[in-house]
Structure 1
């Protein structure tokens, strides 16, 4: 629905750029701070979010009688059809006049067009540092194995779909005979793709990680 207005080719925007590959979008995404990158990790791994776009739209609004513009950080769409726009800011920046104006423009535009608007800070995004640490590991693993082996996925899903409880990775290694390192990569990719649920928000990724499917 949207395409990013600002990409890595834009030399004048941002001083802390990240380029990441999104399996969800099947393209590279361009992020302009550590906080935006960490927010993307959460968006990418959320199975209820089916689409998103970074830097998707230039919003215009009259603020105190003056026409002003701001590019919003992200648009997301959920599997329910609900859409919303998100601005990502460090909490220390929220009192700066430039940021106050940006948020006012965005909120005004969203109100006029019937969209929800949210501001996400490190207080929201970094609430669960264990989850972020795990997601960073999974993304690194995904770079090593961009194309998941279909046989791995078939064997894993065959067990998970027949299970009535959450399954630890130790059991999957034992039952599938997939080498441990390869299974870690395959499961990690399936978590990022939203194919399986996991408890990586509660413990570090490893042999005791539990996975399951919502069937």
Structure 2
């Protein structure tokens, strides 16, 4: 993993699948990290990755980037952060992804989870790096967020920017208009190419849209990012 300075900051730590607490296993490729294949160990980790990969403010990231040690009931334990994220402003954040139920005191593994989070937060405090625990409440925000983000990541991973991208950008203004309106303004281009251009422009942060609550289709309103 390279940051903007060009040096390798973190490499993903390989974790045997049987030792990772979670359900389901995902191996997507990340466009922001040179189309490298990631190892993600739960549906929630995959969905969190989608929010990171489609965030225009993010320029790099690494899953399972760093292992730290901590004490629990007198025993030395180890913990690996779920993700490290690098932003355009060069700020960094370590992230732990948890289901809300794991953070409730009635959960059997609660004490271990609580201590793990405390240890990670303290390590980040000492190293002056931001730390966040992210759950499905924020990751799954909006009924169409995940579906749309899958469509966007798939589009930019597998397709180059179409030749009409600049003209599509010029068609989008600071005032909201539907994708259908954009199609009408650019009849010389196939709708699928205009739609692909809009996905690229959203991915790059040049165009905004409410992809949490609306399907990325003709009725979606788009507008320029000021």
* Aligned twin of 2:151: 137
TM value normalised by structure 1:
0.83
Deviates more, 1:57-66 or 1:32-41: 57-66
Give 2:203's match in structure 1, choosing from 173, 177, 192.
192
Partner-residue secondary structure (3-state), 1:24: helix
* Aligned twin of 1:118: 132
CA distance 1:166–1:134, change in 2 (3 Å): same
| CA displacement 1:31-51 (0-9 Å, x = unmatched) | 111101111111111112222
CA contact (8 A) 1:41 1:135 kept: yes
Deviates more, 1:34-43 or 1:71-80: 71-80
Alpha-carbon RMSD across the aligned residues, in angstroms, is 2.4
Partner-residue secondary structure (3-state), 2:164: helix
Q: Does 1:170 align with 2:184?
A: no
CA distance 1:211–1:140, change in 2 (3 Å): same
Number of residue pairs matched by the alignment:
209
CA shift, 1:13, in A, is 4.7
Map 1:198-209; keep pairs closer than 5 Å: 198-209=209-220
CA distance 1:77–1:99, change in 2 (3 Å): same
* Aligned twin of 2:164: 152
CA contact (8 A) 1:61 1:109 kept: no
CA shift, 1:69, in A, is 1.8
Question: What is the rounded CA distance, in whole Å, between the counterparts of 1:104 and 1:206 in structure 2?
Answer: 43
* Aligned twin of 2:113: 99
CA shift, 1:172, in A, is 2.0
Unaligned runs of 5+ residues in structure 1 are none
| CA displacement 1:134-171 (0-9 Å, x = unmatched) | 2123334445x42222x1212212323xx342332122
Question: What is the rounded CA distance, in whole Å, between the counterparts of 1:190 and 1:214 in structure 2?
Answer: 10
| CA displacement 1:61-89 (0-9 Å, x = unmatched) | 35565443211001112223322211001
CA contact (8 A) 2:202 2:208 kept: yes
CA contact (8 A) 1:69 1:105 kept: no
CA contact (8 A) 1:63 1:105 kept: no
* Aligned twin of 1:19: 27
TM value normalised by structure 2:
0.80
Question: What is the rounded CA distance, in whole Å, between the counterparts of 2:176 and 2:144 in structure 1?
Answer: 20
CA distance 1:133–1:11, change in 2 (3 Å): closer
CA distance 1:13–1:43, change in 2 (3 Å): same
Partner-residue secondary structure (3-state), 2:32: coil
